[in-house]
Structure 1
Amino acid sequence: MVIGIVGLGLIGGSLGLDFRSQGHRVLGVSRKSETCERAISRGVADQSSVSPEILRQADVVFLCTPLGVMEAAMDEILPYLSLDAVVTDVGSVKGWVMQEIAPKWKNFVGGHPMAGTAESGIEAAQRKLFVNCAYVLTPAETTPSEAVQQVEELARSLQSHVYRCSPDEHDRAVAWISHLPVMVSASLISACIGEADQAVLELAKKLASSGFRDTSRVGGGNPELGMMMAKYNQKALVRSLYAYREQLDQAIDQIEHSDWGALEHDLHATHHNRPHFIS
């Protein structure tokens, strides 16, 4: 199969490495010629170009650009797609994608591989990034079943766990477990660096260990990705932030009033419930 990848960053680059290892021919498109050159040297793509004309041969095209430029990227590649080509995306928000981009192409399948690292760019690309990760598909009712099946088979070949749901269900779910954690984690970092006593702040930096590393990781990641989550999933994210603030207010009240019984009850509940989210 000939697979096109538009956007050769962490996700696009990692897809290229995995698909080429399976024997697929990969065609990469990037706005920067140096990224195209690096894609070839790193083994991400068989051919790479700044021109989307290279995609004429592609059977399936993965849109791996940031959400902010995805619509423009889609418009650029449309004239070069074969009539039977399937297009899918990897965006972390699906409602906007399915509303604004999917109608442009009959064989469009909304997708979201839920994998990543704190790094970005083609140098961060790695093999087997998607192993055991969720890969969500959000096809429209009018999406041809053959197109959905083709993307699903490719996703499964990455050893991902494939799920199908509506765009709205996806966006509400990821607001809780992906977008909210980014904002919470970023707020944690901001709160820490707001310590007025410089000596205490420097000591805190020296003492920070696994607990801080784990809880601050996503907040210290790619700022552009966090911005896109907030902008394109605004309604669901704000809803989850308000709910989180209520929980913080409750914890503050319990601690201020020495309500240790209530606090212990809540901590037991979170201890019990966390494993249901972590497989």
Structure 2
Amino acid sequence: DLNIIRGCDAVILAMPVETIIKIAPVISQLVSKDCLVTDVGSTKVEIVKILSKIFPNFIGSHPLAGSEKSGILQAQEDLFENSLCILTPTAATSTLVLRKIKALWQRLGAQAVLLTPKSHDKILSFVSHLPHVSAFALMRTVPKNYLRFAANGLKDTTRIALSESELWVQIFLTNSRNLVKAIESLEAQLSQIKGALRSKDRKRLKTILEKARKKRESLEEKSKIQILQNPK
């Protein structure tokens, strides 16, 4: 019953991207114009474009936390501790509203960072959406009768393929242009590895793998810094 939100000072729309867009006009009839509204959708351009016209005090949010599991039974009290939350204000966003939404996420343990909706969707196409595409594609690639031999290598790299498919269909389609470009970048990298294998170019292959390993190490260092910046 959506009537429960009548009189609320703030509303967080935590639902799939297309549902957020669809339900926003209904929500707008139940809350005052002073109500703070944000969302946790994984894409931002379409959501911000539409919801900014509906709610005077709207700012898009995207907390970078969670797992492949969904539903109320998977709730975690400390989910946002030591995480990043991207906020996507526009030129029309008031300083007061931005400060309040930023404070909300900080109270939950997250570090708030600001991006434009366009930059958000471009970056997330690489660091979030492409990994999911890769995990889904990899599981489709491995023959089913080989799976009984799979160990942690396959399990670790495809954990997120357990994610709810409809949720990710909506994310992919609302960021399709950026995601196609990200997929093309991955295809180019795979082509380089394939070329090195075909020519048995040991030096080239090792260089490719070593550069990837070092970049992965830098990701670990960034994670450590993030934790230090947000001590409990």
Tell me, yes or no, whether TM beats 0.5.
yes
- 5+ residue gaps in structure 1? 1-49
Return the alpha-carbon distance in structure 1 between the equivalents of residues 103 and 190 of structure 2.
42
Q: Given the alignment of the two structures, is residue 226 of structure 1 paired with residue 176 of structure 2, yes or no?
A: no
Does 1:266 find its partner at 2:208? yes
Paired residue for 1:118? 68
Same amino acid, percent of matched pairs: 29
**Native 8 Å contact 1:136 1:162 kept in 2:** yes
Aligned residue number for residue 67 of structure 1: 17
Question: Distance in 2 between the 1:173 and 1:77 partners?
Answer: 29
Q: Distance in 2 between matches of 1:65 and 1:216?
A: 24
Q: Distance in 1 between matches of 2:167 and 2:131?
A: 13
Q: 1:237 aligns with which of 179, 201, 210?
A: 179
Q: Offset of 1:275 from its aligned partner?
A: 2.7
Task: In structure 2, give the amino acid aligned to 1:144.
Answer: S
Match of 2:229 in 1: none
The 8 Å contact of residues 33 and 55 in structure 2, kept in 1 or not, is answered as no
Q: Is the 8 A contact 1:53 1:77 kept in 2?
A: no
- Of 80, 83, 86 in structure 1, the residue corresponding to residue 36 of structure 2 is 86
Unaligned runs of 5+ in 2: 224-232
The number of aligned residues is 221
In 2, the alpha carbon distance for the partners of 1:72 and 1:170 equals 21
Q: How big is the alpha-carbon RMSD for the aligned residues of Structure 1 and Structure 2?
A: 1.3
Return the alpha-carbon distance in structure 1 between the equivalents of residues 207 and 57 of structure 2. Answer: 50
The correspondence for 2:118, drawn from 159, 164, 168, is: 168
The one-character-per-residue Cα deviations of 1:251-273 (angstroms, maximum 9, x if unpaired) are 01101110110010111111111
Q: How do residues 173-184 of structure 1 correspond to structure 2 at under 5 angstroms?
A: 173-184=123-134
Cα offsets for 1:150-178 (capped at 9, x unmatched): 11111011111211011111111101110
**Displacement of 1:89:** 0.6
Aligned to 1:19: none
Identify which of structures 1 and 2 has the higher relative contact order when contacts are C-alpha pairs closer than 8 Å and 6+ apart: 2
Do the aligned residues in 2 keep the contact of 1:65 with 1:73 (CA within 8 Å)?
no
Aligned partners of 2:149 and 2:78: how far apart in 1? 33
Deviation at 1:53, TM superposition (A): 2.1
> 2:127 corresponds to which letter in structure 1?
I
Please give the residue correspondences for 1:30-109 in structure 2 after superposition, counting only pairs within 5 Å: 50=1, 52-109=2-59
Alpha-carbon distance, 1:92 to partner: 0.4
Q: Which amino acid aligns with 1:271?
A: R
Instruction: Encode CA deviations 1:229-268: one digit per residue, 9 max, x unaligned.
Output: 2100001100000010011011011011101100101111
